[in-house]
Amino acid sequence: MVRVDFSSLNNNYDLVPEGTYSAEIIKVQLKSNKNNNGKHLCWILKITDPPEEWNCLLFIITPLKENALWRLKKLLKILHYPISNAVVDIDTDILAGRKLKVTVAQEMYQGKLYNKVLDFKSID
């Protein structure tokens, strides 16, 4: 048996209004795509301003395909992660806790409205 205390949980599960927010990276995971023919990094973020207003997570997907690496490189630069124009080993564990600004929109997917991170930029 598992006992779970939901008493402190914010029950506001509404979508985040479209706009630009400060966010913090919670975790970065390496995942396979739906067709199992490629990999991507799944970035899990939480909004930090104002922290008490929304109880939701935002996601950024950065495919590891050659024609999409520009987006990953842009994100790593924003996070001040050391990169070069060569092969780079990315330590995803040290990315947790880093902060950035995200531009959020709402998008329909399979008949349901979701938040989507359209763009990101440096917090400073």
CATH number of the domain bearing residue 34:
2.40.50
Please give the Cα distance from 63 to 68 (Å, whole number).
Answer: 6
14 part of a folded domain: no
For residue 6, being part of any structural domain is answered with: no
**Which range among 3-12, 41-50, 57-66 shows the weakest confidence by mean pLDDT?**
3-12
Residue 60 buriedness (CB in 10 A; 0-12 / 13-18 / 19+) = buried
Model-wide pTM > 0.85: no
What's the pLDDT score for residue 49? Answer: 83
Q: Quick: pLDDT tens for 93-112.
A: 999 999 999 999 999 988 88
- In this structure, is residue 2 part of a structural domain? no
Residue 62 lies in a domain: yes
Q: Does 45 map to a domain?
A: yes
Number of domains in the chain: 1
**Which residue segment(s) compose the domain that 83 sits in?**
19-121
